[in-house]
């Protein structure tokens, strides 16, 4: 009896064991991300209480306690939609959920936006490096294996600076060359511009530089700053060149246009002429782009089209055409626009060929950038822009709230101030393609295309046909057909060039063409400048007209 009971218990146990184990295995899995973690943050070796959230894009850190520990001020606007982080004298404006921030007057794009999270706003490590790192010389060392962020102040670097001043055709170019990228801030004031070192020290050249120039009175260099003293009425534009790192200032006389007292924010002036055009052959290298049914790769045809267009433009009009790539190589999107910016291009044209799922789609379409209006600040920005063009916009000079609002949306304006010109240019391209080639008009559209982001000039992406459509694929392989496409693009560029160069001088604030100005009308466009497009929710493609 006893034995029987023993064996019965054993059998029951053996049956229950797998059920228990299986039930354990069927427990719901932890969500992939974001997941709270037992992470830590140390500042100069001391652990500080900063919430950390691990997301698929990387770790996010609570900004509020970090700012307090690092001696920075963090304030929120009334609507709670943006925050201002003050690090020393530099203001960093952050929009919740927006990957664009402003650091001083610089627009910086983050690969991951700050988000609301545990204990307030949370920011990626890239944010910390671009703010506290660049402004105060902190290093941020994230170790994913132990989930720890170590923050330490780097020592100030001593670096030499070389100065070069050249005056040519009414423009003085001042080049400051550094052995590596310094941490600096450019401050402009009437009649002068200063480069202030934030966490590095300069070794001034000996003897001190003597400058004899019609536009630059003097250049003084001390360990903390470089100061360019300009002659009265001179204006300056600055930009950066890499390898080696150079900070360049182009100084020229201001245009003799009376400027009315305006708002604190001034929109960049419209282009005075079209001198440099950057043509971007889409894709390249292992990034083939679309592949047609017969195996034709988009990257090959776009390169041929771009080369031909560059050649035709230089033959027909007095412009410099620059290709972003002239070989079959991979080129990052941001490099393409950087090439345009560094060449001070007046137009950017990215050439592509399309494909769709299925073979029915055909025709051409032209895109310009869509900024995401989901962000309420972007929508307000667009509204403000539209109002301003209509002449009844917020007067930032008299309305502090409007001025603050405009300052807060600087990031958006960096992307959108060329949008109306891009739209006008896109209309001209689409008109030429429709009228001369009788292609199916798929319209002018907006989309958040990466290659159009960051272009500091009117920029479009043109899709010249569908490689997925066998008929269009065949036509696109025909050199004569491609020549017609190039002709249409060249005519559109010529028309836009003529429009810009015949336009009456714009006001000093860079507002649109004055009312009453006679402009050549693009097809189906009114003579009046197109209103600044309001980015559509979703920032996506617009329906064809």
Complex with other proteins: residue 403 or 453, whichever CB lies closer: 453
Among 97, 104, 393, 505, the residue binding other proteins under the rule CB under 8 A is 97
CB of 512 to other proteins, least distance (A): 26
When asked if residue 111 is in the footprint of other proteins (CB under 8 A), the reply is yes
Instruction: Tell me, rounded to whole angstroms, the distance of Cα 252 from its chain centroid.
Output: 26
Q: Which of these segments, 173-181, 193-201, 204-212, 281-289, binds other proteins (CB under 8 A)?
A: 281-289
Complex with other proteins: residue 288 or 318, whichever CB lies closer: 288
Complex with other proteins: residue 355 or 513, whichever CB lies closer: 355
CB of 64 to other proteins, least distance (A): 17
Complex with other proteins: residue 375 or 388, whichever CB lies closer: 375
Report the distance separating Cα 72 and Cα 151, nearest Å.
Answer: 15
Complex with other proteins: residue 123 or 161, whichever CB lies closer: 123
| Alpha helix (H) residue ranges in 26-73 | 63-69
Complex with other proteins: residue 13 or 145, whichever CB lies closer: 13
Report yes or no: 219 and 236 within 8 Å, Cβ to Cβ. no
Complex with other proteins: residue 299 or 532, whichever CB lies closer: 299
The label of the residue with tokens 């080049």 reads 175
Among 168, 206, 357, 480, the residue binding other proteins under the rule CB under 8 A is 357
Nearest residue to 224 (alpha-carbon basis) of 253, 275, 183: 183
Report the distance separating Cα 275 and Cα 501, nearest Å.
Answer: 10
Report the distance separating Cα 239 and Cα 245, nearest Å.
Answer: 11
Among 1, 4, 5, 18, the residue binding other proteins under the rule CB under 8 A is 18
| Alpha helix (H) residue ranges in 26-133 | 63-69, 125-128
When asked if residue 80 is in the footprint of other proteins (CB under 8 A), the reply is no
Q: Which two tokens stand for residue 405?
A: 């609002």
In sequence order, the 6+-apart residues with CB closer than 8 A to the CB of 222 are 202, 204
Nearest residue to 425 (alpha-carbon basis) of 362, 336, 374, 497: 497
Question: Residue 354's CB: how many other CB atoms inside 10 A?
Answer: 22
CB of 224 to other proteins, least distance (A): 36
Site for other proteins in 312-351 (CB under 8 A): 332-334
CB of 371 to other proteins, least distance (A): 10
Among 138, 142, 184, 367, the residue binding other proteins under the rule CB under 8 A is 367
DSSP 3-state assignment of 55? strand
Report the distance separating Cα 52 and Cα 144, nearest Å.
Answer: 12
Q: Which of these segments, 107-115, 241-249, 499-507, 516-524, binds other proteins (CB under 8 A)?
A: 107-115
When asked if residue 393 is in the footprint of other proteins (CB under 8 A), the reply is no
Among 250, 287, 441, 484, the residue binding other proteins under the rule CB under 8 A is 287
Site for other proteins in 160-179 (CB under 8 A): none
| Alpha helix (H) residue ranges in 321-375 | 333-342
Report the distance separating Cα 124 and Cα 272, nearest Å.
Answer: 40
Number of residues located near other proteins, criterion CB under 8 A: 75
Report yes or no: 103 and 75 within 8 Å, Cβ to Cβ. no
Site for other proteins in 444-503 (CB under 8 A): 445, 447-451, 453, 461, 463, 466-468
Bridge partners of residue 171, in order along the sequence: 168
Query: What x/- string results for residues 24 through 53 when contact with other proteins is judged by CB under 8 A?
Result: -xxxxx-xxxx-------------------
When asked if residue 115 is in the footprint of other proteins (CB under 8 A), the reply is yes
Q: Which of these segments, 42-50, 390-398, 470-478, 531-539, binds other proteins (CB under 8 A)?
A: 531-539
Report the distance separating Cα 152 and Cα 148, nearest Å.
Answer: 13
């Amino acid at each position: 009896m006893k034995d029987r009971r023993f064996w019965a218990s054993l059998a029951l146990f053996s049956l229950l064991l797998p059920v228990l184990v299986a039930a354990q295995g069927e427990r719901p899995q932890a969500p992939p991300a974001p997941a709270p973690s037992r992470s830590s943050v140390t500042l100069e070796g001391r652990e500080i209480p900063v919430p950390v959230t691990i997301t698929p894009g990387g770790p996010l850190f609570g900004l509020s306690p970090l700012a307090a520990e690092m001696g920075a001020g963090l304030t929120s606007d009334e609507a709670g939609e943006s925050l201002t982080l003050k690090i020393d004298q530099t203001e960093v404006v952050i929009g919740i959920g927006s990957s664009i921030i402003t650091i001083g007057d610089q627009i910086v794009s983050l690969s991951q936006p700050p988000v609301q999270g545990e204990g307030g706003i949370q920011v990626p490590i890239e944010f910390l490096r671009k703010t506290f790192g660049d402004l105060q010389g902190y290093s941020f060392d994230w170790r994913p294996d132990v989930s720890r962020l170590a923050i330490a102040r780097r020592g100030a670097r001593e670096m030499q600076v070389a100065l070069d001043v050249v005056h040519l055709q009414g423009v003085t170019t001042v080049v400051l060359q550094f052995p590596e990228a310094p941490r600096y801030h450019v401050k402009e004031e009437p009649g002068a511009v200063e480069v202030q070192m934030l966490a590095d020290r300069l070794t001034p050249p000996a003897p001190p530089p003597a400058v004899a120039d019609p536009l630059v009175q003097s250049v003084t260099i001390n360990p903390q700053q470089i100061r360019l003293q300009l002659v009265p009425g001179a204006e300056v534009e600055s930009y950066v060149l890499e390898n080696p790192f150079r900070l360049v200032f182009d100084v020229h006389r201001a245009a003799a246009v009376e400027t009315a007292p305006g708002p604190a924010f001034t929109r960049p002036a419209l282009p005075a002429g079209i001198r440099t055009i950057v043509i971007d052959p889409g894709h390249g290298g292992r990034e083939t782009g679309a592949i047609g049914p017969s195996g034709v790769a988009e990257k090959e045809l776009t390169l041929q089209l771009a080369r031909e267009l560059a050649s035709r433009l230089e033959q027909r009009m007095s412009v410099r055409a620059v290709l972003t790539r002239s070989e079959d190589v991979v080129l990052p999107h941001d490099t393409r626009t950087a090439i345009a910016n560094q060449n001070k291009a007046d137009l950017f044209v990215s050439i592509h060929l399309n494909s769709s799922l299925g073979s029915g789609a055909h025709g051409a379409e032209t895109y310009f950038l869509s900024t995401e209006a989901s962000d309420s600040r972007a929508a307000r920005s667009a509204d403000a822009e539209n109002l301003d063009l209509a002449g009844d916009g917020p007067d930032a000079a008299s309305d502090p709230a409007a001025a603050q609002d405009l300052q807060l949306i600087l990031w958006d304006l960096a992307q959108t101030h060329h949008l109306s010109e891009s739209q006008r240019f896109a209309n001209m391209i689409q008109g030429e393609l429709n009228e001369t080639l009788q292609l199916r008009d798929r319209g002018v559209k907006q989309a958040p295309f990466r290659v159009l982001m960051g272009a500091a000039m009117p920029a479009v992406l043109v899709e010249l046909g569908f490689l997925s459509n066998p008929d269009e694929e065949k036509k696109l392989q025909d050199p004569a057909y491609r020549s017609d496409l190039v002709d249409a693009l060249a005519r559109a560029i010529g028309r836009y060039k003529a429009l810009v160069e015949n336009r009456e001088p714009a006001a000093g604030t860079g507002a649109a063409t004055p009312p009453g100005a006679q402009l050549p009308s693009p097809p189906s466009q009114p003579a009046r400048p197109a209103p600044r497009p309001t980015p559509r929710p979703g920032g996506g493609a617009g329906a064809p007209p």
